[in-house]
Structure 1
């Protein structure tokens, strides 16, 4: 069985978001990615709902997470 080369393979969006919040906090996350679900009354649940239906925002979150992994 061949292993996926995609670093996001098998990683849940919820896990990505929780890691980013733990690393940066909601305030800095909202500064880095300017979307309302991070800046106005943020929560994991509401952010996941938005990110799952908004591909451009999800792409930004995934890019930030991949940058964090490279550190």
Structure 2
């Protein structure tokens, strides 16, 4: 005869990345979106790194950012800021549903 286990079952695991706004967004997508939104010149002013200032390209930026954690963090932060700006601008341009 077996006895029931005294250990309660483990609670179900929450989705690992449920609250991460960068989940599913590649670094290439981030750099491309930033360069299209700000342009390379303004991007180099906001984050002063050579890969944005001298002969910029997505591929050269990716090589640098993959090896440089502090720069990648700045780029990801600027991407999140850009996303918030776009949401705010979009919500202001939406007509109000109030009558």
The answer, yes or no, to whether TM exceeds 0.5 is yes
Q: Cα deviations across residues 19-66 of structure 1 (Å, max 9, x unaligned)? A: 000000000000000000000011110000000000000000000000
Aligned length: 71
Alignment TM-score, normalising by the size of structure 1: 0.95
Matches within 5 A, 1:38-49: 38-49=52-63
Q: Which 10-residue stretch deviates more, 3-12 or 44-53?
A: 3-12
Which runs of 5 or more structure 2 residues have no equivalent in the other structure? Answer: 1-13, 86-99
Taking the aligned partners of 2:29 and 2:72, their CA distance within structure 1 comes to 13
User: What is the Cα-based RMSD across aligned positions, in Å?
Assistant: 1.1
> Which is helix-richer, 1 or 2?
1
Which runs of 5 or more structure 1 residues have no equivalent in the other structure? Answer: none
Taking the aligned partners of 1:13 and 1:57, their CA distance within structure 2 comes to 12
What SS is found at the alignment partner of 1:6?
A: coil
The answer for the alignment partner of 2:71 in structure 1 is 57
Taking the aligned partners of 2:75 and 2:48, their CA distance within structure 1 comes to 11
Select the structure of larger CA radius of gyration. 2
